[in-house]
Amino acid sequence: MWDVRIRCLDHLVLTVVDPAATIAFYERLGMRREEFDDGRLALRFGEQKINLHRAGSPIQPHARRPTPGSADVCLLVEGSLDDVERELERAGVVVELGPVPRTGANRRIRSLYLRDPDGNLVELAEPI
């Protein structure tokens, strides 16, 4: 047994076909575009970020099979999920499922599911 304890998530990586389209999508969810190091791109929210790797040009080291559209992520929203749903409807964003009750990391949540430009499943949720 290792004596290692994980404190929190710092960042994760999405492999994407079109970084500009991905950034535009997640900026509409309140994330901020960030450029770091030698022009690498990320999306910042709270104390976390999502680094973006362009498909076919991943940064070393990388996942064994970096593939656009293979992620499934749950993001907690600020405010009401009902308000989020209305905003998505006004913007013409297709909601695949929801709102539905789910079990989050620390409590029950209510979730909406949609897809980003690469087909990654994005779950937007509020605690209930």
Nearest 5°: the CA angle 19, 30, 118 is: 30
Separation CA 109–CA 53 (nearest Å): 30
Which residues fall within 8 angstroms of residue 2, CB to CB, at 6 or more apart?
Answer: none
Could you say which DSSP state residue 93 is in? P
Catalytic residue check, 87: no
Separation CA 123–CA 60 (nearest Å): 28
- Which member of 27, 78, 123, 126 is catalytic? 123
Separation CA 50–CA 34 (nearest Å): 10
Side chain identity at 49, as an amino acid letter? K
Instruction: State the catalytic residues.
Output: 123
